[in-house]
Chains A and B, each alone.
Chain A
Amino acid sequence: MRVTPGMTADSAIYNLQQGRTAIEKLNEQIASGSVVNRPSDDPLTTRQLLDLQEQIGAGDQYSSNITKASLLLSVTDTALTGMAGLMQQVKKIAGDMVSGTLDATTISGAVGNLTQLKTQLIDLGNTQIGNQYIFAGFSNNQPFDPNGVFSGTQDMLNIEIVDGSTISANVAGGSLLRGGKPPAAVGTGATAGTSPVDILGSIDALITAINNKDTAGISDAIKNMKAGADQITTARADVAGRTVRLDNMKNMIASNQNTLRGIYADRQNVDYAKAGVQLSQQSTAFNAALSATAKLSQLSLLDYMK
Chain B
Amino acid sequence: MGIGTIFDIASSGISAQRLAIEVTGENIANVNTEGYSRQQVMMENKPVTTANGFGLGTGVQIAEVRRSYDGMLQMQLVNGNSSYQESLTRQQALEQIEPSFNEITADGLGKAMENYFGAWQDLSTNPSGTAERQALLSRSQVLVDTFHQVDSTLAGVAQTSDNNLVGITAELTDNARNLALVNTQILATMSVGGNANELLDQRDLLLRKMSEKVEITTSLASDGTASVTLPGGEQLVAGTSYATIYTNLNGGTATNDILITGVGNPPPAKNPGGDTVVAAAGGGGSLHGTLGGTLEIRDTVIPEYRSQLDEMANKLVTVVNAQHSQGYGLDGTTGNNFFDPAGVTAAGIKLDGALTSAKVSAGLPTGTDPIPTSSGNNVNALKLADLGSSSVAFSTGNATFAGFYRAMVGKVGVDTEEVQNLSTQGAAFLKQLNALRSSNSEVSLDEELTNLTLYQRAFQGSAKVINAATDMLDIVLGMVR
Interface residues of A (CB under 8 A from B): 1-7, 10-11, 14, 32, 34, 36-44, 46-47, 49-51, 53-54, 57-58, 61, 64-65, 68-69, 130-133, 136-140, 152-155, 157-160, 163-164, 166, 169, 181, 268, 300-302, 305
Contacts and interface: CB of A to CB of B under 8 A. Distances in A.
A46 B104 contact: yes
Given A50-B103, A57-B114, A159-B125, A40 B420 contact: yes
B249 interface: no
5 contacts: A40-B416, A47-B413, A50-B104, A153-B368, A158-B378
A166 B381 CA distance: 13
Given A7-B435, A57-B114, A155 B368 contact: yes
A125 to B, nearest CB: 15
Given A39-B416, A43-B414, A65-B121, A155 B377 contact: yes
B435 A10 contact: yes
A46 B410 contact: yes
Contacts of B411: 43
A92 B225 CA distance: 119
Contacts of B412: 39-40
Contact of B376 (A5, A43, A138): A138
Interface residues of B, number: 66
Contacts of A58: 114, 389
Contact of B366 (A3, A7, A155): A155
Nearest to A136: B376
B445 interface: yes
Contacts of B373: 138
Given A68-B126, A301-B445, A38 B376 contact: no
Contacts of A47: 406-407, 409-410, 413
A163 to B, nearest CB: 5
Interface of B: 31-32, 94-95, 98-99, 101-105, 110-111, 114, 118, 121-122, 124-129, 363, 366, 368-369, 373-379, 382, 385-386, 389, 402, 406-407, 409-417, 420, 431, 434-435, 438-440, 442-447, 449-450, 453
Nearest to A39: B413
Nearest to A6: B442
Contact of B99 (A38, A43, A158): A38
Nearest to A158: B382
Nearest to A163: B389
A69 B417 CA distance: 46
Given A40-B417, A43-B413, A2 B444 contact: yes
A139 B409 contact: no
A157 B376 contact: yes
A5 to B, nearest CB: 6
Contacts of A158: 124, 378-379, 382
Contacts of B121: 61, 64-65, 160
Contacts of B440: 2
B449 A302 contact: yes
B124 A160 contact: yes
Contact of B438 (A4, A37, A302, A305): A4
B268 to A, nearest CB: 42
A300 B446 contact: yes
Contacts of A42: 413, 417
A51 B405 CA distance: 11
Given A7-B438, A138-B363, A39 B101 contact: yes
